[in-house]
Structure 1
Amino acid sequence: MTGAGHERTPGQTTRIRGRHVVAFDTEQGGHVIVEGGEVVFRDDRVLHAGGPYDGAVDREIDARSHLVIPGLVDAHALMDIGIHLLLWDYPREEGYRPRRFVEGQGSVFDERQTRDGAEAMLAMLVRSGVTTFCGINAMVFKRWDDEPWEPPLYAEVANRLGLRAYLSHHYRSSVPIVDDLENDTLVDEARGHDGLERCVDFVRRCQAGAFGPRVHGLLFPYTQDTVSDELLRATSAAARELGVGWRMHTAQSVREVEWTLERHGRSPIERLDHLGVLGPEAMLTHVLHGRGHQGGNGLADHEVELLARSGTSVGHTPWIYLFGGRVLDAFGRYRRAGINVAIGTDTYPGDMIQEMRVAALMGKVAERAALATTAADVFDAATLGGARFLGRDDIGRLAPGSKADIVLVREDTATFAPTLDPIRSLVYYASIRDVSDVFVDGRPVLVNGAIPGVDEAELNGRMSTLLGDVADVLGGWDARGRSVDERFPTSFPVVRRRP
């Protein structure tokens, strides 16, 4: 590809000539594939997306071996290292935090470690074609809330990498703990409301431009089973007053559903409907389990209908649930009911191409039907679905007036298999390594497969060190007194190198 890699000059008009361009047809209300298409942008806005452009341009980018798509919108992106790298092929245990930790003082990880995790995770998003993300951090390592310095730190890293970010303080009114090998819960309603106020303050700072034009705020009560009725109602009211959305982990496990039924007499979705907090400003992440469907433990038909009727969005994160042998029932079922479904990466590796593939394949498996979920369905969810929840018609699409969030994917690689349909090639065959260039607001943030100013090998080294720190923390919390090697055994016995 020629012409890429140069910093944008203000006022300069740039044309990208692609092999295929995924443009948004406003009359049809959806994406179309334009053979030999062109995208023209000036500063942060698209001027043209479609066939040949007749106007004058200042710069040409020859991408005639590339698929040109809108930037992907990650609806649920982990911003720090988390714990899941340690949990593959390992039986998930109930609970991690001991009482002594939750009732203690100070942070598990300092600002340097948190920044290392953020740089590694957000860089992965860039490499997979994400231009906008809704962030989350690993609350397993928080005593109650995230630290006051965390959202500004994530904003700093996102700005440095050029991403558009939707950030939050996380808050809750109860915390699960492990006490003498037994699960327990600590409750503090006042701390939950203090957390909401802290999040409201952060959103207002974002709205005032404190972190720049690409950083926005959302409210984030952390999980359905750790947030009281009063805190949920207060969150919904605050979101309406601020004019922003709110997100929450919901119906993640059968145990959560059983607890909610026992405590409230309703399933998680029924509870939220009863409280009057469902609506277009809400996105519930995961939403795997409910009163049951066709002999399984998915959402019952009436629960799906509650979500659809209220306009509530669902954030689907298929990859993270596969390691536990679980799958949404079902992506296609939710969409056919009229639910807006967005896609999120949730955990490492932060690869939206992989998430689209898994969403499509597992959507077919869940309904045992080849057309239950298609490549087009998941591409829509990864672009328009996230944008729709955020209330934006200028991202997740390439059309005149939209943001110049543009991704170039090589079609001339062995992994981007030749088919008659570049979207099927992207979803079913392409690799993150096929993403060559990414623009956010017209600025290049990935150039010829590299992030300007980021040493990938050095960053991976810092991430490996941080993963060791995570393992040490979890080993220190182990109520059974196991070593790190005992708690997280390798796939095969390790032969240690002699000194």
Structure 2
Amino acid sequence: MTRWQDLPLGRRPEGRWALAARWIVVDRPEGRRLLENGEVVIERDRVLWTGPRFEGAVAARFDLGEVLVTPGLIDLDALSDLDTTVLGLDNQPGWRKGRVWPHDYAGREMYAPEELAFQKRFAFAQLLLNGITSALPIASLFYRAWGETVPEFDAAAEAAEDLGLRVWLGPAYRTGGVRLDAEGRMHPEFDEPRGLAEFEAAAAFAARIHGRADGLISGLFAPDRVETCTETLLRRTMDRARDLDLPVRLHMAQGEMELQTVRRLHGVTAPEWLDRMGLLSDRLIAPHATVATPEDLARYAANGVTVAHCPLVSGRHGSVLRSFSSLRAMGIRIGMGTDTAPADMVLNLATGLIADRIAGGSASAADFLNAATLAGADALKRPDLGRIAPGAKADLAVFDMADTRVAPRIDPVQTLIWGATGRITRATLVDGRLVMRDGAVAGIDLPAARAQAQAQFDRLVAQYPERTFGHPPVEEIFPPAYPLAQRQMEETP
């Protein structure tokens, strides 16, 4: 038996090799099953066998003991920056905390190009730490000059290839934004020529990057939040995506500001607006659907739209999908996303289960694991992902069921999703490569990167007074949870 610790990070083992585990979630023609005391045999980038001990020849066999092996998790709305939404959780309202530009702020980049490149690399490593093997990155445009840039996504492609993360990449673009006037009222402002130029650059990038790194990197169209898009931008996006056969992710039906802005601009909700234009389709992935009306959801169901469910970030802002169970009953495909720090998919699955029960649903742990694997793969039209079956890509997540914090253990899938977090992720494999093991990720020094990320984020926060309404100091924008204690001189007895 070859030692697991001897398997090199970031490289495929030579020949076919076997991974033995106490439990493996496998996919059979008759459906998904839990295999006990079985093996997965991998050859290059594919699963060759699932079942009891493989009797054929293997170059190496690794027995991981008391672990649960699942298909690699698929994140349809994967955090790929240093999350600024966490700044607003205890600091409301958001428009007074720099989330919306004041009238006297000239939008500019708050990060240098090398910082933008670093944050993608760091965020991608966080995804791998949590068993996420496929990701559609998302970053905030609130602190950007306008949209995302092609150079930063060239750097993102390089980072994904170095770390071994499977990604769908495309710079976010928009034709408008929301600005505060001198009295603090929100008004949409548009610059369509600028947005259309950025769309053309993003489309050229997606076409150029698609299929890079032996298929590890794919193209994506990522228009920003629906209220920042004009009809022309959305029509061109869907036309080009159809021509290139690429997915489109568009945030809509996700919040009150969007709902009121779109109604003011177009007289209807965002899903109805897109439906009237004939732009809803099965290539569209739409986070978060928490303010979608019953009529909007019926439109999603009729047109095959996938909802990217991100229950942790929604719940943090006081909203909830109503409900996961109800949408599934309507025939809506629901995949999963993280969209906040920590990029912990297991925690999102647990939060989603709890939110579904509160909203009157009855979904199970298996339903949510299926959403994070099978549904995500189907949304991307990739039947070789989200499954552990012969011929599927060897994208796997390994969870430690002997962790001292996971007790008592019942069914391993229920134990994982009801009672754990992604912190018990022991290993992540992508395309047949071991890319994360015991907290170490191929291609990055995580302790050094953690320190760099904090310093970079602190510099970002220091710039907030300039882009916050009324320009208050940082201490007023983001006060500490408790007032800071005053230092007192010790009295000498």
Q: Does 1:13 align with 2:16?
A: yes
User: How far off its partner does 1:341 sit?
Assistant: 0.5
**Cα distance in structure 1, aligned partners of 2:93 and 2:17:** 50
Secondary structure of the equivalent of 2:475? helix
With 343-352 and 175-184 compared, the bigger mean Cα shift is at 175-184
CA contact (8 A) 1:79 1:154 kept: no
User: How far off its partner does 1:175 sit?
Assistant: 1.4
Partner of residue 327, structure 1: 320
Secondary structure of the equivalent of 1:20? strand
Cα-to-partner distance string for 1:426-452 (whole Å, 9 max, x where unaligned): 101123221111111111111233224
Name which of 272, 297, 303 aligns with 1:304. 297
Partner of residue 204, structure 1: 207
User: How far off its partner does 1:229 sit?
Assistant: 1.6
Correspondence list, 1:83-122, <5 A:
83-94=84-95, 95-102=99-106, 107-122=109-124
CA contact (8 A) 2:211 2:218 kept: no
Name which of 359, 370, 381 aligns with 1:366. 359
**Cα distance in structure 1, aligned partners of 2:421 and 2:3:** 22
**Cα distance in structure 1, aligned partners of 2:79 and 2:423:** 21
CA contact (8 A) 1:76 1:136 kept: yes
**Cα distance in structure 2, aligned partners of 1:40 and 1:460:** 35
Correspondence list, 1:123-272, <5 A:
123-180=125-182, 181-207=184-210, 209=212, 213-272=215-274
Partner of residue 380, structure 2: 390
Q: Does 1:439 align with 2:441?
A: no
Opposite residue 187 of structure 1, the aligned amino acid is F
CA contact (8 A) 1:387 1:396 kept: yes
Partner of residue 430, structure 1: 420
**Cα distance in structure 2, aligned partners of 1:127 and 1:199:** 29
Structure 1: which 4+ aligned runs deviate by more than 4 Å? 8-11, 99-102, 496-499
Segments of 5+ residues of structure 1 without an aligned counterpart are 291-298
Opposite residue 107 of structure 1, the aligned amino acid is E
Distance 1:497 1:137, change over 3 A: farther
User: How far off its partner does 1:101 sit?
Assistant: 4.2
Distance 1:396 1:91, change over 3 A: same
Name which of 319, 338, 342 aligns with 1:345. 338
Distance 1:2 1:435, change over 3 A: farther
Opposite residue 354 of structure 2, the aligned amino acid is L
**Cα distance in structure 2, aligned partners of 1:464 and 1:495:** 23
Name which of 402, 405, 417 aligns with 1:415. 405
Opposite residue 233 of structure 2, the aligned amino acid is L
**Cα distance in structure 2, aligned partners of 1:118 and 1:203:** 17
Opposite residue 197 of structure 1, the aligned amino acid is E
**Cα distance in structure 1, aligned partners of 2:392 and 2:402:** 28
Partner of residue 444, structure 2: 454
Partner of residue 318, structure 1: 311
Q: Does 1:355 align with 2:348?
A: yes
Partner of residue 64, structure 1: 65
Cα-to-partner distance string for 1:323-358 (whole Å, 9 max, x where unaligned): 222111111111111111111110111111111111
CA contact (8 A) 1:247 1:282 kept: yes
Distance 1:80 1:152, change over 3 A: same
User: How far off its partner does 1:5 sit?
Assistant: 4.3
Secondary structure of the equivalent of 1:325? coil
Partner of residue 399, structure 1: 389
CA contact (8 A) 1:416 1:431 kept: no
Q: Tell me the number of residue pairs that the alignment of Structure 1 and Structure 2 aligns.
A: 482
**Cα distance in structure 2, aligned partners of 1:10 and 1:425:** 31
**Cα distance in structure 1, aligned partners of 2:93 and 2:381:** 36
Opposite residue 259 of structure 2, the aligned amino acid is V
CA contact (8 A) 2:110 2:460 kept: no
**Cα distance in structure 2, aligned partners of 1:9 and 1:139:** 37
With 126-135 and 281-290 compared, the bigger mean Cα shift is at 281-290
Segments of 5+ residues of structure 2 without an aligned counterpart are none
Secondary structure of the equivalent of 1:350? coil
With 321-330 and 395-404 compared, the bigger mean Cα shift is at 321-330
Secondary structure of the equivalent of 2:458? helix
CA contact (8 A) 1:65 1:412 kept: yes
Secondary structure of the equivalent of 1:328? coil
Secondary structure of the equivalent of 2:375? helix
User: How far off its partner does 1:11 sit?
Assistant: 4.5
Opposite residue 37 of structure 2, the aligned amino acid is G
**Cα distance in structure 2, aligned partners of 1:458 and 1:497:** 31
User: How far off its partner does 1:74 sit?
Assistant: 0.6
User: How far off its partner does 1:60 sit?
Assistant: 0.7
Secondary structure of the equivalent of 1:332? helix
CA contact (8 A) 2:13 2:433 kept: no
User: How far off its partner does 1:10 sit?
Assistant: 5.8
User: How far off its partner does 1:393 sit?
Assistant: 0.7
**Cα distance in structure 2, aligned partners of 1:179 and 1:156:** 41
User: How far off its partner does 1:107 sit?
Assistant: 2.5
Q: TM-score, normalised by structure 1?
A: 0.92
**Cα distance in structure 2, aligned partners of 1:420 and 1:10:** 33
Cα-to-partner distance string for 1:98-127 (whole Å, 9 max, x where unaligned): 34544x5x5220122223322332211111
Cα-to-partner distance string for 1:373-425 (whole Å, 9 max, x where unaligned): 21111101111111111110111111101111111111111233344311111
Identity %: 30
CA contact (8 A) 1:415 1:429 kept: no
